[in-house]
Amino acid sequence: MTPVVKFTKMHGAGNDYIYVNTLLYNIPDPETQAIKWSDRHKGIGSDGLVLICEPTTKDADYRMRIFNADGSEAMMCGNASRCIGKYLYEKGICNKEQIKLETLSGIKIINLHTNGKKVESVTVDMLEPVFDRPEQFDTAKAAALPEGTFVSMGNPHYVIFVSNIDSIDIAKEGGLLEFNDAFPERCNIEFAQVLGNGDIRTRVWERGSGITMACGTGACATAVAATRNNIGGRKNRIIMDGGTLDIEWREEDGHVYMTGPAEFSFEGSIKL
């Protein structure tokens, strides 16, 4: 008999994933299932698949694995980490309001802002940004890139500030840049327009998923790039297609803190 898996569909500012609790269900081939289930015409439809797992270290409470819609495994996802916090708390799996989540880019501290048994918003300590380009980065080929700022938030981002974001063909430009020879491991691409008063309008091309409604790590990278380029302060509101995220890059510890919503969409069952 074909195994049946129960899943939960959630989104953070429109960045939607399929969530499966692997403490209850075994997903032997998540790469293939991510491609199949993420299909918006023939599957459940999502930006990817997120597995909630047992941690591999005693320093964490839970572990997150993320597979993009093309089956590639991601290092980190800010929106998914917020959704996991809400999932664990509201389903009664964990009663902590602070959760240590193991990811491929380190252990992230998730702080839940609750009202009774409900999680109203979530703040994630995204740790310190890294500006050093990876060793594989091809400096010569990068000379042909549009001017931008490279920021790693546990995964690579290239942030390009523009004067009119509505004039950018995100699908065309983002797709070309993700696979640019300057990025041997591909890259997430952000196009951002500074609106003033701490507001920055941002659109995202995610590595492995294409255009998404929001990207948590991308919002962090955008805010940090704005601060680094002296066109943004330490606190910024990143306005994305699916919603707004509040990003603070604190001077005292150098960490980036991301605050935003997490929502349930629906639940169901699917055959492996």
Whole-number Å distance between alpha carbons of 20 and 6: 7
Which 8-state DSSP code applies to residue 166?
A: G
Which residue numbers are catalytic?
A: 77, 215
Q: Is 45 helix (H, G, I), strand (E, B) or coil?
A: coil
Which 8-state DSSP code applies to residue 215?
A: -
Q: Is 88 helix (H, G, I), strand (E, B) or coil?
A: helix
Query: What is the rounded end-to-end Cα distance, in angstroms, of the chain?
Result: 10
Q: Look-up: residue for tokens 């699917």?
A: 270
Whole-number Å distance between alpha carbons of 237 and 200: 6
Whole-number Å distance between alpha carbons of 55 and 65: 10
Residues near 92 by beta carbon (within 8 Å), at least 6 away in sequence: none
Q: Look-up: residue for tokens 């995220």?
A: 245
Q: Give, in order, the Cα–Cα distances in Å from 228 to each of 6, 139, 150.
A: 44, 20, 11
Whole-number Å distance between alpha carbons of 102 and 113: 20
* Rounded (10°) angle between helices 216-228 and 78-90: 130
Phi and psi (nearest 5°) for 50?
-120, 130
Q: What is the CA radius of gyration of the chain?
A: 18
